[in-house]
Structure 1
Amino acid sequence: MVQAAKLERIPLAAVRRQAKASELSRVVPECCGLVWNALRAQQVKAGRQVAVYWDSTIRLEVGVELLGPFEPAGEVVLSATPTGPAAFVTHYGPYGALGAAHQAIRRWCEAQGRAPAGPNWEIYGHWQNAWNADPSLIRTDVFYQLSE
């Protein structure tokens, strides 16, 4: 069920990329690996993995929520999730089926007379071993920034 809320920023350590849709299944995990290596090197407490899609050309930031101080390292920079009004939904299932969650938010926006206004992003649940056997349990929260 799609919901709306006013969101606060979540600080991130992230890598910036431009990618084609067909490259995302490679680019997102690759970038997460770079970020996790930097976080481990600094022994930073961290949260969930995040991908922020800034525009339709798939200019993105892939990162990890920061739960402690972090110094930028190489390609890994400080960033944050978008703030303000957003529509969101929780998707359970394989990443390849995330399109349904995005479509649900777009349909909700149309029905509510609300307009997406900028980026959308995904926050991925912490991997659970049970997900290997049952991918229907995989949790991803999908967000779309809305106009005021």
Structure 2
Amino acid sequence: MTVMTVPERPTAVLTATTTWADYPRVWKQLLGEVQAGVEWPAGGRQGRIVMLYLDDWPSVEVGVELDRPAKVGEGIVRSVLPAGRVAVTVHRGPYEKLGETYEILLCWCAEQGLKVTRTRWEVYGHWHEDPAQLETELYWLLAE
């Protein structure tokens, strides 16, 4: 875990305000639409998956990083991951355990005297069949 300052990172997303109970269904639908609506250069890989949580409802942006030029289809929103000072860590392992890593990150922030905002995001590494090889970057925007 560390604190760093990050620049804005461009994304292509769809937005929603949902409930935590409905979120597992909602994110899959949104992500599928974004992945179908972004056209990458021939032979190139897609940008990494991103999920930006703007508050605790959650109001979310689900999509992909635009780390290189891509054509964004109708209805897909060009957005950014926020710039600013963040607490960051990398979760290694199955996605079902992300909540545990978030709890550890929040405890670490409290121990360091860092105040978090409600804005946080995940950047998913490229898919691996072996869950132990999965990596997800967790960012929590800090209060100034």
TM-score of the superposition, structure 2-length normalised? 0.90
Look up the match of 1:39: 38
In structure 2, the CA distance between the partners of 1:69 and 1:137, relative to structure 1 (3 Å rule), is closer
Alignment deviations for residues 5-50 of structure 1 (CA, whole Å, 9 cap, x no partner): 000111000000112112222222221111111113x658641000
Find the residue that maps to 1:34 and give its secondary structure: helix
Look up the match of 2:24: 25
Q: Is the 8 Å Cα contact of residues 9 and 65 (structure 2) preserved in structure 1?
A: yes
Q: How many residues align?
A: 141
Look up the match of 2:139: 143
Q: How big is the shift at 1:128?
A: 2.0
Look up the match of 1:3: 2
In the alignment, does 2:87 pair up with 1:91? no
Look up the match of 2:74: 73
Q: Is the 8 Å Cα contact of residues 37 and 72 (structure 2) preserved in structure 1?
A: no
Give the letter aligned to residue 138 of structure 2.
Answer: V
Q: Is the 8 Å Cα contact of residues 13 and 70 (structure 1) preserved in structure 2?
A: no
CA distance in 2 between partners of 1:90 and 1:51 (Å): 15
Note the aligned Cα RMSD (angstroms).
1.7
Q: How big is the shift at 1:72?
A: 5.2
Give 1:128-139 correspondences, 5 Å limit.
128-129=128-129, 131=130, 135-139=131-135
CA distance in 2 between partners of 1:72 and 1:87 (Å): 33
**Percent sequence identity over matched residues?**
30
Mind listing any 5+ residue stretches in structure 2 that lack a counterpart? none
TM-score of the superposition, structure 1-length normalised? 0.87
Q: Which has the higher helix share?
A: 1
Mind listing any 5+ residue stretches in structure 1 that lack a counterpart? none
Q: Is the 8 Å Cα contact of residues 72 and 78 (structure 1) preserved in structure 2?
A: no
Q: Is the 8 Å Cα contact of residues 38 and 72 (structure 2) preserved in structure 1?
A: no
